[in-house]
Structure 1
Amino acid sequence: EWLTDSLVHLSLVQDNRDGWYEIHPLLRRYFRDKLEASPHAEPAKRRYCGIMAKKSAEMPQNPTIEIVEEFKPFLLHLQASVGEYPQYIADEDLGWSYTGLARYYNGQGLYAIAEPYCQACLTATRTHLGDNHPDVATSLNNLALLYQSQGRYTEAEPLYLQALDLYKRLLGDNHPDVAQSLNNLAELYRSQGRYTEAEPLHLEALDLYKRLLGDNHPDVATSLNNLALLYDSQGRYTEAEPLYLEALDLRKQLLGDNHPDVATSLNNLAGLYYSQGRYEEAEPLYLEALDLLKRLLGDNHPNTKTCRNNLQRLRQQQKPTSLTWWQWIIVTPIVILWMPFYLLWMLTRWLVRCFIR
């Protein structure tokens, strides 16, 4: 500890107050130069890249604010691994070395920063592993996912189709990666309104997941949710609701109440109720989803913004309707013109009743 304090005092090391220390750039350059001159440089770089790949593999598809913060101290090292020492990354670590960084940015909606890592991953896996390798299929799939998130559907589709074809040829028809690829392609078609093409793919993916992973698995919950989304998009609400409820229950059971996927399920179920005019049932679900998303992903995450907009739309729908200024301009003359005739008609009815008596 005295050594660390001395280095901090000399401004050679910066204490970040979070359990991490940052070495002065000049000191870092000195150690790097010493390492380069050492016979241990090559194995040290390989170990470094291996450690970074393992760390990168810990990044989930949808990282929370907490995970993003925990990941920050490693960010420069992960970038150095793929940027400065790509030749020292083992073949089996290639995919994850880039994917963790892509997920870090993609999960925050920073698509423009994530894209170069997805593209570099595809290039690296193809160069080192050849075109016919499962990691190439995964790289194609991840790049397609990124394009789909941005609404770049025409760019995403050929990549999804290539990935699916590769997975089937290399892994066979009965593999979880094939199920995931089917699910992703189906979601793309749903987003484009190509419902008749999407449904058989979703059903095939769900059947595969259940057979390979069992009924109680997060991927099964995702597949149920996506099939429900498809039915919801088609107005098949009675078919969608039990699937949404099953997916929500499964996610809570497997992932706990505080998970982004649970928030997604709550938002989707609320959307179904909104579409049916069941506003009182939809509102508490939107509120719960929004609270979860704000806590887990932050106020500025795309999913949080979408949920907030959904809630605002619901509340707007619940407001008593009032005529706009231009509607008043149209309605007022009509009322003025017809009022005398209406009063005359009422008077006539009254006189007739009096006469009959």
Structure 2
Amino acid sequence: MVSIVVNNLVFWAVALGLIGCFIWPMALLGKKFWTRGKLDEQNSESEYSGLCGDLSASAFRLSVNDQQENAEQKYLQAVAAGREAVSKNEPEAGRLLAGCLANLARLQERSGQHDKAEQNFREALEILEVEGAAQANEYVYGLDSLAFLLWQSGRLEEAVPLYTQALDITASQQGTESDDYVSRLTALANVKSQLEDDGDAERVCREAVQAVKELRGEDDILYSGAVRSLMAVLHQRGREEDAKPYFDDLLELSRKELEPEREDADYAQALSYHAGLLHEAGELREAGHAYRRAQKLLRSAGLDTSAEYAVCLSNYARLLRETGHSQQAERNLRQALSLLEETLGADHEVCKAARDELDETSSGAAA
């Protein structure tokens, strides 16, 4: 579980960064229509588009202020106005509606409404295709968003072609040395590394490792993610000796990241990651100390309800169980699972893995 959780956190950072780019263009597009609607209140050719943009901008502000339920209602109203705009053939109404649907889907995804989110992401992509925007940035970001949602739901085989399509479009528009291309290649490598029968996984993972190394350097978080994906593939194929040099490199890079010692949130997360590596290396005493120190720093930084804190708790619980402290491990896992379900949604693959781990730990503690 240690390697799975650490690697998935790296992947979330990549994927969420890409999805964020999808939300902003749509919010700005909505603002453009909102302004036009205000200026042309009398017989505006974009009456419903203006209303859609106004409601969408309001929903976006509510979501930023963590008023998720109110934001969802505003987005639903914006979508209704967008559909009316499309029915009246208002200029660019289709792309505006697609943006509202995508932002609504992202909100629903965060609240665990994965079925609704998937439906809205797919409709947004279909609208953009009809509008002739299948090469536009918002379409590519939509592919990222839907692929990430499917990955969260454990539907890896369905996520791969979406990531591949997004990657191909990025390559044709920006080239293979662009930051977006390398980020998407790393995301694709992560997903493929989790498919045991994917014969192309090793090639993609090696390409990702090399691309990140050349573009961003070995000290970038994407490099760690790409290397861990490659290591996972090598482990699956029983090639432990081939994987070991990569692991040693990660451990050394992680040690350097901790110098000099600090007490901020970034340092706490780096320390939690390093603890996971020490754990995998079998250095349990040092790993335990690093886990506890990381938890203390995360609490001090106000991150004791975050996914990062939950992951640190979960990984430390596994170490406790391995060293014979099953009851304490169970308490940590229950707390971690509660936090993970709140932040990621109960259907997330990491939550499912944490529940399995809890069941196994509870059985051990009872015995």
* TM bin (shorter chain): 0.5 to 0.7
Residues 137 and 164, structure 1, Cα contact 8 Å, conserved in 2: no
Alpha-carbon spacing, 1:152–1:252, altered in 2? closer, same or farther (3 Å): farther
Q: Which runs of 5+ in 2 are unaligned?
A: 1-46, 49-70
Q: CA RMSD in A?
A: 4.4
Which residue of 2 is the match for residue 79 of structure 1?
Answer: 125
Are the aligned partners of 2:182 and 2:211 in contact in 1 as well (CA < 8 Å)? yes
SS of the residue corresponding to residue 18 of structure 1 reads helix
Distance 1:170 1:17 in 2: 39
CA shift at 1:245, angstroms? 2.4
Matches of 1:123 and 1:274 in 2, distance apart?
Answer: 44
Give the one of 291, 303, 322 matched to 2:338: 291
The reply to whether residue 30 of structure 1 matches residue 30 of structure 2 is: no
The separation in 2 between residues aligned to 1:225 and 1:151, in whole angstroms, is: 27
The aligned counterpart of 2:205 is 160
2:167 paired with 1:122: yes
1:217 Cα offset (Å): 4.9
Query: Residue 206 of structure 1: which of 254, 267, 281 is its match?
Result: 254
Offset of residue 223 of structure 1: 4.9
3-state DSSP class of the match of 1:261? helix
Q: Compared with structure 1, are the counterparts of its residues 137 and 273 closer, same or farther at alpha carbon in structure 2 (3 Å cutoff)?
A: same
AA of the residue aligned to 1:137: V
Decide whether the 8 Å contact of 1:106 with 1:114 is kept in 2: yes
Task: Tell me, in whole angstroms, the C-alpha distance in 1 between the residues paired with 2:220 and 2:259.
Answer: 10
The answer to whether the Cα contact below 8 Å between 1:82 and 1:97 also exists between their aligned partners in 2 is: no
State the match for 2:285 in structure 1: 238
How does 1:191-202 map onto structure 2 within 5 Å? 194=240, 196-202=244-250
1:266 and 2:287 are equivalent in the alignment: no
Alignment partner of 2:73 out of 13, 18, 37: 18
Q: How far apart are residue 300 of structure 1 and its match?
A: 3.6
Report the Cα distance in structure 2 between the residues aligned to 1:184 and 1:169, rounded to whole angstroms: 17
Query: Structure 1 179/264 Cα, relative in aligned 2: closer, same or farther at 3 Å?
Result: closer
- The structure 2 residue matched to 1:275, chosen from 317, 322, 325, is 322
CA deviation after TM superposition for structure 1 residue 285, in Å = 0.5
Deviations 1:127-184 (CA, angstroms, capped at 9, x unpaired): 2222332322212111111123444575433222212222333345555544554455
The Cα of 1:277 is off from its aligned counterpart by 0.7
Residues in 1 aligned to 2:208 and 2:321: alpha-carbon distance in whole angstroms: 36
Larger radius of gyration: 1
Residue 118 of structure 1, CA deviation? 0.8
Structure 1: gaps (5+ residues): 5-15, 36-40, 321-357
1:212-237 deviation digits (Å, cap 9, x = unpaired) = 9x87455x555544443343344331
TM-score in terms of structure 2 length: 0.62
Determine if contact 2:82/2:96 at 8 Å carries over to the other structure: no
Give per-residue Cα distances to partners, 1:260-288, cap 9 Å, x unaligned: 23222211111101001112321210121
In the alignment of these two chains, the number of paired residues is 291
1:106 matches 2:151: yes
Q: Quick one: distance in 1 between partners of 2:113 and 2:182?
A: 27
Deviation (angstroms), 1:69: 9.4
Task: Give the equivalent residue in structure 2 for 1:339.
Answer: none
Distance in 2 between residues matched to 1:247 and 1:316, nearest whole Å: 28
**Partners of 1:174 and 1:240 in 2: how far apart?**
21
- CA distance in structure 1 between the partners assigned to 2:116 and 2:258 by the alignment: 34
Q: Write the deviation string for residues 222-263 of structure 1: whole angstroms up to 9, x where unpaired.
A: 554444334334433112212322343444455622222322
* Matched letter for residue 30 of structure 1: S
Instruction: Write the letter of the residue equivalent to 1:282.
Output: A
Query: In structure 2, what is the Cα distance between the partners aligned to 1:132 and 1:168?
Result: 11
Secondary structure, aligned partner of 1:258:
coil
Q: 1:197 to 1:226 in 2, by over 3 A?
A: farther
Identity %: 18
Q: Give deviations 1:59-101, integer Å, cap 9, x for gaps.
A: 69xx7436969967963564246644445614xx676343233
Name the TM-score, length of structure 1 as normaliser.
0.63
**Distance change (3 Å), C-alpha of 1:210 and 1:231:** closer
